[in-house]
Amino acid sequence: MPSLPQPKQTRWRTARLAALLTALLAASLLMSACTKGSTDIVVSGSTTVEPIAEVAGEDYSKIHPEVSVLVSGLGSSAGIEAVGDTKTADIGTSSRELKGNELKLGLKVIPIAHDGIAVVVNPSNPVKNLKMDDLRAIFAGRITNWKQVGGADEPITLVNRDESSGTRDAFTQFVMGDTPFELNAVVLPGTGQVREVIRRTKGAVGYISEGFVKGGEVRALSIDGIAPSAANISSEKYPLSRSLYFLARKDLSPAAQGYIDYVLSDAIQEGAVRDAGYLPIKLKSEGQK
């Protein structure tokens, strides 16, 4: 049976705890820097961006041994808060655009990769394609059995992301609009957890970054007959295409700026970005020339 979503108070406490953990990590790094004479860069936010940031951080520290890069995946909203509000991170990472009061934080928004949100099911599910209207109806709880969309007579188990997730925000923008999510869903904090639940649950459906659809553990559906392929994502033909972002304050340190420049270099764009299943940020602009 799917578990009910967390109460708002619990989600608020979770977000605050994430911010506190980031603050403690930053303080620990600052103390370490004072004793060891090193420079530390704190990168916090999206679990979708985390694989790129981690690999780039490890490689950057090999090139610049005096610099340490600490990367944590606490969700896009937590990352934006950490860099723009509490200032406990040097760089925030996000899988969505800034919104509302976040636009007033004065942050630099730096696209670092292209990605698509894949709607994923268990590999045993015979459904290959969903109409956008049907996808919306499924996550709104109006379609509750796979036979209603041409599949087997199998109840649909909804798997959703928590409210701090940038992927959830992007899915809301692309798919749900003003239509509310069905509350009777499994609500999870990270991409890996979503993939694992769908891998183990025959009738489950959820959404994750296309970069995490690997190894046959889950299968991505086409939407309106358009598959989340590299070509369709880079051209934005696939309807759930998006960019991934770094966010920084204007007082960015030279070391942090150097790290960002490294992430945008061919070494990472053609390496870690592609290895994670994403597309280089330059791909679209080059195609438009």
User: If pLDDT is split at 50, 70 and 90, which confidence band does 23 have?
Assistant: low
Rounded CA separation 255/125 (Å)? 48
- The per-residue pLDDT for 35 is 40
Q: Tell me how far CA of residue 170 lies from CA of 59, 61, 191, 231, 284, in angstroms.
A: 30, 32, 14, 20, 19
**Does 151 have pLDDT greater than 60?**
yes
Q: What is the DSSP string of 16-44?
A: HHHHHHHHHHHHHHHHHHHHH--EEEEEE
Q: What are the tokens at 76?
A: 């896009």
Question: Which domains are seen in the chain, by residue range?
Answer: 8-114+243-287 (3.40.190.10), 115-234 (3.40.190.10)
Stated pTM of the model: 0.75
Average pLDDT over residues 30-47: 73
**What mean pLDDT is reported for the chain?**
89
Report pLDDT digits (tens) over 101-116: 999 999 999 999 999 9
Q: Which residues contact 42 (CB under 8 A, 6 or more apart)?
A: 22, 25, 26, 29, 70, 82, 88, 89, 90, 91
- The per-residue pLDDT for 283 is 59
Residue (of 248, 242, 243) closest to 109 by Cα position: 248
- The per-residue pLDDT for 286 is 45
- The per-residue pLDDT for 188 is 96
Report pLDDT digits (tens) over 81-136: 999 999 999 999 999 999 999 999 999 999 999 999 999 999 999 999 999 999 99
Report pLDDT digits (tens) over 228-266: 999 999 889 999 999 999 999 999 999 999 999 999 999
**Does 37 have pLDDT greater than 70?**
no
Rounded CA separation 11/184 (Å)? 16
Torsion sign, CA atoms 127, 133, 134, 136: positive
What single-letter amino acid sits at 212?
Answer: F
**Does 27 have pLDDT greater than 90?**
no
Rounded CA separation 111/257 (Å)? 14
